[in-house]
């Protein structure tokens, strides 16, 4: 029996900040961002967007035409949780009209937890192959302004339907694992932005990669040369290039050029979105599937998933014949291109005053053109809306201009 990803989709935020704008405002040579870390743009959520709205937007198309009663589990992976108790996936479950006969939980281990969710989903489906599991990874990467991590922020969500009909990618059973108690990146409960020891985080990422690879091989995994492509967790795309060259050298099997060819096209979307923490490696998969010119049917794809703190997993999947019929390439490119460009002062406003962190009751003015929005916080409860869709405004730079969504909405108070 083959198990894996039957359907996959992603969503990102309403706004985008070019790193050229950040470079100019902070007096940094733009080449450091474009070349040194390999990032061009970063997604910035509107005040009425969060991990729930992006997750629901990503998952909605994946559920089209599905028998919702077959989805008896939702696994929501995030490290930008909105509540210490309630799983964000419960809001998404409601917004998408999923069956009440369903278990919903939230998973956390920095950027790694989506991979844990995927593997747990595969195990659940192995036990009950007639059931499906909805795996969602959704995150907003936020660092302090003027910190080393600032240009590596971003936002996005991926939804994957895991089943015994893996029309996109069959997951192979062997995994290489590595856990080490390190303090490279973390976010205490009292902070809205992450703390990071940047250079150290890169070195422990590479250590985890080598250790997970060694374990993968010891567990009976394939040699590196038998992979066609490789997807990395990408806090910034340059790291994936360095990581795969590190692995090529460690395994002694590939030249730098051959290593670079194996990660081709996995970086395209991430370069334009920024770090999406748990979602990043799977946005890399979509970037590969949707941007590679050649037919990848039968291709073996390696995945390196890393979550600071740290847990890492290296595993493989095989792209299925006919996968192209499952893709939503134009929708995903539109997700990236529809974003409205913001100036530096708007970015500062959004960054420094993220909604809901201060407590108190407030309505949140409509900003997003997406199908779901955070409408208000009342009595410490988040209230989400499903928004009647209208076309995006023609003037993409007019941030703060007239609302881009109809206020005539079907309000869902949860």
Under the rule (CB under 6 A), what is the footprint of ligand CAA? 29, 31-32, 35-37, 111, 148-149, 152, 184-185, 196, 198-199, 201-202, 205, 233, 235-236, 239, 275, 277, 306, 308
Minimum separation from the CB atom of position 204 to ligand CAA (A)? 7
d(CA 71, CA 24): 48
86 is in an annotated binding site: no
- Give the DSSP H or E segment for 93: helix 88-95
Minimum separation from the CB atom of position 11 to ligand CAA (A)? 19
Whichever of 127 and 199 has its CB closer to ligand CAA, that residue is: 199
DSSP secondary structure letter of residue 351? H
d(CA 43, CA 403): 19
d(CA 158, CA 387): 20
d(CA 386, CA 389): 9
Check: CB of residue 75 under 8 Å from CB of residue 174: no
Check: CB of residue 104 under 8 Å from CB of residue 93: yes
Query: Can you read off the two tokens belonging to residue 132?
Result: 């499906």
Neighbours of 250 (CB within 10 A): 15
Whichever of 153 and 368 has its CB closer to ligand CAA, that residue is: 153
Scored b (16 or more CB within 10 A) or e, 304-314 reads bbbbbbbbbbb
Minimum separation from the CB atom of position 75 to ligand CAA (A)? 20
> Tokens 């733009």 map to which residue?
30
Whichever of 143 and 315 has its CB closer to ligand CAA, that residue is: 143
Rounded to 10 deg, the angle between the 329-337 and 280-291 helix axes is 120
Of the candidates 184, 218, 176, 339, the one whose C-alpha atom is nearest the C-alpha of residue 272 is 339
381 is in an annotated binding site: no
Whichever of 183 and 327 has its CB closer to ligand CAA, that residue is: 183
**What is the tally of helices (H) and strands (E) in the chain?**
12, 18
DSSP secondary structure letter of residue 194? B
Residue facing ligand CAA at closest CB distance: 36
Whichever of 203 and 389 has its CB closer to ligand CAA, that residue is: 203
d(CA 116, CA 119): 5
Minimum separation from the CB atom of position 26 to ligand CAA (A)? 11
Minimum separation from the CB atom of position 41 to ligand CAA (A)? 15
242 is in an annotated binding site: yes
* Residues catalogued as catalytic: 79, 111, 233
Of the candidates 230, 204, 114, the one whose C-alpha atom is nearest the C-alpha of residue 162 is 114
Minimum separation from the CB atom of position 44 to ligand CAA (A)? 17
Of the candidates 303, 320, 295, 286, the one whose C-alpha atom is nearest the C-alpha of residue 164 is 320
DSSP secondary structure letter of residue 48? T
Q: Where are the alpha helices (DSSP H) in 234-343?
A: 237-251, 256-262, 268-273, 280-291, 329-337
Whichever of 37 and 396 has its CB closer to ligand CAA, that residue is: 37
Whichever of 201 and 272 has its CB closer to ligand CAA, that residue is: 201
Termini Cα distance of the chain: 39
Minimum separation from the CB atom of position 164 to ligand CAA (A)? 32
**Binding site, annotated residues:** 143, 242, 275
**Binding site, annotated residues for (3S)-3-hydroxy-3-methylglutaryl-CoA:** 143, 242, 275
């Amino acid at each position: 029996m083959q198990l894996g990803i039957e359907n996959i989709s992603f969503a990102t935020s309403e706004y985008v900040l070019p790193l050229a704008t950040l470079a100019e405002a902070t007096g940094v040579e733009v080449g450091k961002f474009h070349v040194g870390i390999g990032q061009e743009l970063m997604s910035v959520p509107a005040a009425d967007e969060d991990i729930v709205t992006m997750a629901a937007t990503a998952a909605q198309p994946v559920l089209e035409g599905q028998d919702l009663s077959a989805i008896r589990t939702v696994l929501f992976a995030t490290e930008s949780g909105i509540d210490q108790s309630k799983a964000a996936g419960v809001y998404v479950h409601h917004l998408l009209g999923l069956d009440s006969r369903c278990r919903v939980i939230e998973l956390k281990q920095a950027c790694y937890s989506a991979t844990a969710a995927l593997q747990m989903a595969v195990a659940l489906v192995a036990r009950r192959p007639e059931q499906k599991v909805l795996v969602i990874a959704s995150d907003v990467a936020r660092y302090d302004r003027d910190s080393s991590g600032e240009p590596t922020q971003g936002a996005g969500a991926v939804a994957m339907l895991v089943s015994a009909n893996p029309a996109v990618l069959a997951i192979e059973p062997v995994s290489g694992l590595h856990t080490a108690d390190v303090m490279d990146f973390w976010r205490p409960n009292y902070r809205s932005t992450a703390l990071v020891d940047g250079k150290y985080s890169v070195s422990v990422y590479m250590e985890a990669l080598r250790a997970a690879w060694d374990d993968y091989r010891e567990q009976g995994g394939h040699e590196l040369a038998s992979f066609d492509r490789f997807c990395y967790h990408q806090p910034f795309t340059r790291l994936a290039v360095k990581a795969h060259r590190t692995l090529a050298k460690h395994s002694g099997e590939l030249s730098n050029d051959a290593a670079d060819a194996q990660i081709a096209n996995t970086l395209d979307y991430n370069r334009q979105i920024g770090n999406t923490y748990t979602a990043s490696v799977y946005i890399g998969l979509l970037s590969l599937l949707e941007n590679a010119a050649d037919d990848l049917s039968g291709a073996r794809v390696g995945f390196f998933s890393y979550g600071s703190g740290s847990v890492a997993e290296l595993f493989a999947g095989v792209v299925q014949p006919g996968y192209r019929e499952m893709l939503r390439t134009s929708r995903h490119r539109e997700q990236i291109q529809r974003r409205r460009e913001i100036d530096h002062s708007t970015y500062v406003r959004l960054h420094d005053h993220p909604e809901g962190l201060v407590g108190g009751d407030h309505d949140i003015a409509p900003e997003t053109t997406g199908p779901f929005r955070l409408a208000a916080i009342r009595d410490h409860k988040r209230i989400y809306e499903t928004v009647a869709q209208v076309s995006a405004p023609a003037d993409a730079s007019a941030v703060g201009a007239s609302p881009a969504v109809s206020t005539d909405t079907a309000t869902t108070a949860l």
